[in-house]
Amino acid sequence: MITTPTVPDSAVPDRASPVAAADFQHRTVLLDEAVDALALTGARANGVFVDGTFGRGGHSRLILAKLGASARLVAFDKDLQAIATAEQIDDPRFTIVHDSFATMGAALAERGVAQVDGILLDLGISSPQVDDAARGFSFRNDGPLDMRMDTTRGMSAAEWLAIENEKTLEKVIKEYGEERFAFQIAKAIVARRAIEPISTTRQLAGIVAGAVKTREKGKDPATRTFQAIRIFINKELEDLEIGLNQAYASLAPGGIMAIISFHSLEDRMVKRFFAARANVEQPDRRLPIRAVDLPQPEIKLLAKVKPSDAEVDANPRARSAVMRVARRLPFPEDAA
């Protein structure tokens, strides 16, 4: 795993203003399908659930609408604008945590929660983050090259590009962006920063466009590089690896995990995580082992769901989404 650099506290900016959150609209992907996957009926409707990626609250609000009076929903997000939106929800059943879902185990323990009945993770970035040029996630509008989901912590993309060596730049762009021109792009970045600081999204997009000679029809040359840098800066794959384990450890027997991913790196991790616990290798049948002592699967795979054509037509950003759903075993016989 590539290690993300850190900066001293003195270099971390003040908390960003959440005012802009209302200026950008977000369409929650697989809204009904994801909430339905948690099976919020019968006794489960009064359980404890986690929304590990609050975003703009689409999933959380629908979950709350289906939960019983004694239920609890704990949500997580690193984005200050998401936190500002979450704090507007006036519901005693709801708690928002300003942190990554990778901290789920400790955060739940601090709130007196030992096990939960369902966990939803909607990975990636939200439309407001992409559409707000000031966040630096998109190359379509010029803005400061930041890319941090949590602007109170860590190093911005511009700060990282200013100091990282060419070999690591290439590695990040190749591995996290699956970019075949990573060598040329890294070389071009190092050459340009020797002349001037790379501080805006338009600068970086221009550098990448000059280094990438061919690209799939309809795809901007900068797409993969921006994805790679964003994933790296925010430790997205590191958080996912830790978060999957923490989520599984927090899940009660019969509990359900539903995870929505938007690119192959995330989906591959989720798929392998589930498969490792669902497909248990059995010993040689000739060995004298009692059936009760045979290895048992830890989870049951329930579904793989993609957005409908109608959803993709209404929200093109949903086209790459994949949701995988699994239930922890054993499943209590008296569960609803």
Feature table: binding site = 57-59, 77, 101, 122, 129
Pair of tokens at residue 10? 């003195």
For residues 126-151, one letter each, b for 16 or more C-beta atoms within 10 angstroms of the residue's C-beta and e for the rest, the string is: bbbbbbbbebbbbbeeebebbbbbbb
Give the side-chain half-sphere CA count within 13 A for 86. 26
User: What are the tokens at 70?
Assistant: 């004694």
Which residues share a beta bridge with 322?
Answer: 261
Report residue 50 CA to chain centroid gap: 14
DSSP run (H or E) holding 241: helix 236-250
Would you report the helix, strand and coil content of the chain in percent, each value rounded to 5? 45, 15, 40
Q: Determine the Cα–Cα distance for residues 328 and 299; give it in Å rounded to an integer.
A: 4
CB 122 within 8 A of CB 243: no
Edge-to-edge order in the sheet of strand 94-98: 94-98, 72-77, 48-51, 116-122, 251-261, 322-328, 299-305
* Interatomic CA distance for residues 117 and 124, integer angstroms: 23
Residues belonging to the binding site for S-adenosyl-L-methionine are 57-59, 77, 101, 122, 129
* Residue 143 tokens, joined: 């803005």
Please list the alpha-helical segments (H only) found in 157-221: 157-163, 166-177, 182-193, 201-211
SS3 327: strand
How many whole angstroms separate alpha carbon 127 and alpha carbon 231?
16
- 106: which residues sit within 8 A by CB, 6+ positions away? none
How many C-beta neighbours within 10 Å does residue 52 have? 26
